[in-house]
Structure 1
């Protein structure tokens, strides 16, 4: 309930701040900032001049030092850290961690340094006023409690008419309540100023949003890779197991088990790599396969019973890494779709690399009974192929033609 402890919920709302720890941690935060003017007051000692002029001098004298401190980039980090600890403790800290509003990086632009300077000055002034009012409130409460022993109190501090001296101790809670009210007000004000003056700038928020978008895109890419890898491995395993049971040949069963083992091992390696990236593990991720390993991919599909005719042309080793890796995944997804939707039918795979473009073509004969076994245009596999091609500036075309299901992908190399 807004971070209010259960023991204080039964109290009237105006009395709750007096029992909340955040009220006093915020007051401590302000008193720390008032150290410079208070130190100046102790050094200068009592002054018989105008009090307003003395307070003004104490409030303005430390400003040049604060300007120097604000010019140091790390000051923003230190001030933000102190604000998190003292301005937003307890339930407020948990809320702050869910939606950070204070900067975590040093100031870079001079506009950020200017906001830090404004924060330091305003915090010092509010702290100085809070220190003076708190000290005066404590002094007045103590004086009222023992006013009957101090003759000068009647005439100099709070004269009361007649014989009302015994009423002085009854007034002691008034300055205490006023001091607590001012401390709560100053603390709430400085807590409201902190996100505006110590929070990230517009450019930093935009950068953080871009980084978050990049992370989401990376997670989507990893999820698509898991779909391709695990889907391919499971499809090969299911087809191999079904073919081995139908064949009833020990030799074919041995080949099928070997293909299932190899495909499963590759899938486990890809799964470990993706999980390591998702966990942001410090260990370097394993290498992603590229088109140079297309023969292994074709052999795995052949082991599942598909009659594959592969044509590989051009220097695949010179294809840039991103294009080669995405091309491998595209061919893998195409072969997985063939095994899943059409079964062990004749397949023609063509991979051709030139100086400017990479061409990928996968054709398979459609089942004689119906063409509905081919993946539709809304399938996640074909959608993933089109997305991969579009991200690399290429295009992908898929659909039935002349009794075949054809997928043709063109990716620019340069």
Structure 2
């Protein structure tokens, strides 16, 4: 376990990423005050002089993007070095590192802190690494009698046995410095509040889209399968060739419509760019009612008002609600009388579907079932209201949708 980091390529790319930051103070130190036999004060001067330059560079918005991309590439394992089951880093945002330009002064300030940290920490890491390598060479050269470690002043041939100590210290430095560099990068180059809010909104949109697609599939395929089951059962019970032909025709028509809905949803999932067929609206409700009647249900329907002039979203969602209500009636009550009332005016659309329950069959508890939940969700998204449950001995689905 302790040696595992030493056999991973990312350990050394992290150390390299950190040490690269030492180039700027080393170049500044060569110009002033010069690095010929530098003192501790000379190193402090070389480390402090480039700070204003780094702060000025952080004002450029693209500097944050460049640092973020470099950090993603060098601080996290790529596909070639990733262990099985390890999270994907270098090719996505799972690193916690932002790769977008600075969008605010807060971003610029965090970028400036990062550049200064990388420069100063890189200089320290470079100096300590060089010193530890020098210690190893001194210990291996038995002819040199010089102190190499603060707590040791070895002399003679026996000091070569201490040569592995600086190397071990160097390896520990490489591992710990890389981890520190990665942790600070996540803190200073991580996404800003605005970026996190944008990512959250995008994730919410994706979840809403997935829920909408799930409702589409549930309503369309559930309706088609319910009608097919009811029609097949009725045809087998009737044992009438003429009735069987009508039932098979109804199953064929319903299945064809379900396949069209399925193809439209699959196109939406694939995002192929091909034109997608329009979803059916409430002006096509006659097809739903005829399908329910062909399954044996006694559907009494009344539609009043300019249904064909309804707004597109209201018409499409109302069609799906009616479809789900009829499906529930056939699935849970069988071929019973179903009363459908659709009323539209200038301000609202009201949809009501009622049906009795067979004797001895307990009613579905309000709020249960994904279909009923889907009806309420559709209504809520349009600013309306949906109520389901028993009333006066019948099961009711009552939906009110505003048109403005």
Provide the rounded CA distance (Å) in 1 between the counterparts of 2:19 and 2:235: 80
Aligned match of 1:125: 120
Work out whether residues 283 and 308 of structure 2, in 8 Å CA contact, stay in contact via their aligned partners in 1: yes
Q: Deviations over 1:84-124 (max 9, x none)?
A: 33223245993464954222433322212211211111011
Aligned match of 2:187: 196
Work out whether residues 116 and 197 of structure 1, in 8 Å CA contact, stay in contact via their aligned partners in 2: yes
Relative to 1, partners in 2 of residues 1:135 and 1:330: Cα closer, same or farther, differing over 3 Å? Answer: same
Q: How does 1:225-240 map to 2 (within 5 A)?
A: 225-240=216-231
Q: Deviations over 1:281-324 (max 9, x none)?
A: 55555432221221222222222222323322222233222222
Q: Which runs of 5+ in 2 are unaligned?
A: none
Relative to 1, partners in 2 of residues 1:387 and 1:123: Cα closer, same or farther, differing over 3 Å? Answer: same
Work out whether residues 304 and 342 of structure 2, in 8 Å CA contact, stay in contact via their aligned partners in 1: yes
Matched, 1:177 2:172: no
Which deviates further from its counterpart, 311-320 or 39-48? Answer: 39-48
Relative to 1, partners in 2 of residues 1:338 and 1:81: Cα closer, same or farther, differing over 3 Å? Answer: same
Q: Deviations over 1:148-186 (max 9, x none)?
A: 2xxxx547989xx99944345334333323333333332
Provide the rounded CA distance (Å) in 1 between the counterparts of 2:154 and 2:228: 102
Aligned match of 2:307: 316
Matched, 1:383 2:373: yes
How far the C-alpha of 1:332 sits from its partner, in A, is 0.5
How far the C-alpha of 1:259 sits from its partner, in A, is 1.8
Provide the rounded CA distance (Å) in 1 between the counterparts of 2:86 and 2:106: 29
Aligned match of 2:258: 267
Aligned match of 2:279: 288
> Relative to total residues, which structure has the larger helix share, 1 or 2?
1
Work out whether residues 306 and 344 of structure 1, in 8 Å CA contact, stay in contact via their aligned partners in 2: yes
TM-score normalised by length of structure 2: 0.84
Aligned match of 1:341: 332
Provide the rounded CA distance (Å) in 2 between the counterparts of 1:195 and 1:93: 22
Relative to 1, partners in 2 of residues 1:138 and 1:203: Cα closer, same or farther, differing over 3 Å? Answer: same
Matched, 1:94 2:86: yes
Work out whether residues 84 and 93 of structure 1, in 8 Å CA contact, stay in contact via their aligned partners in 2: no
Work out whether residues 383 and 401 of structure 2, in 8 Å CA contact, stay in contact via their aligned partners in 1: yes
How far the C-alpha of 1:362 sits from its partner, in A, is 1.8
Relative to 1, partners in 2 of residues 1:155 and 1:214: Cα closer, same or farther, differing over 3 Å? Answer: closer
Relative to 1, partners in 2 of residues 1:359 and 1:280: Cα closer, same or farther, differing over 3 Å? Answer: same
Matched, 1:110 2:129: no
Provide the rounded CA distance (Å) in 1 between the counterparts of 2:373 and 2:314: 18
Provide the rounded CA distance (Å) in 1 between the counterparts of 2:101 and 2:260: 40
RMSD: 3.3
Which deviates further from its counterpart, 324-333 or 198-207? Answer: 198-207
Work out whether residues 213 and 265 of structure 2, in 8 Å CA contact, stay in contact via their aligned partners in 1: yes
Aligned match of 1:6: none
Q: Residue 102 of structure 1 aligns to a residue in which SS?
A: coil
Work out whether residues 376 and 385 of structure 2, in 8 Å CA contact, stay in contact via their aligned partners in 1: yes
How many residue pairs are counted as aligned between the two chains? 395
How far the C-alpha of 1:29 sits from its partner, in A, is 0.9
Provide the rounded CA distance (Å) in 1 between the counterparts of 2:54 and 2:305: 66
Q: 2:64 aligns with which of 76, 85, 88?
A: 76
How far the C-alpha of 1:329 sits from its partner, in A, is 1.1
Q: Residue 94 of structure 1 aligns to a residue in which SS?
A: coil
Aligned match of 1:407: 397
Work out whether residues 314 and 353 of structure 1, in 8 Å CA contact, stay in contact via their aligned partners in 2: yes
Q: Which runs of 5+ in 1 are unaligned?
A: 1-8
Q: Residue 72 of structure 2 aligns to a residue in which SS?
A: helix
Matched, 1:139 2:143: no
Relative to 1, partners in 2 of residues 1:256 and 1:143: Cα closer, same or farther, differing over 3 Å? Answer: same
Relative to 1, partners in 2 of residues 1:377 and 1:228: Cα closer, same or farther, differing over 3 Å? Answer: same
Work out whether residues 342 and 374 of structure 1, in 8 Å CA contact, stay in contact via their aligned partners in 2: no
Matched, 1:297 2:292: no
Provide the rounded CA distance (Å) in 2 between the counterparts of 1:384 and 1:96: 35
Q: Deviations over 1:172-204 (max 9, x none)?
A: 333323333333332222122111111112343
How far the C-alpha of 1:220 sits from its partner, in A, is 2.6
Q: Residue 347 of structure 1 aligns to a residue in which SS?
A: strand
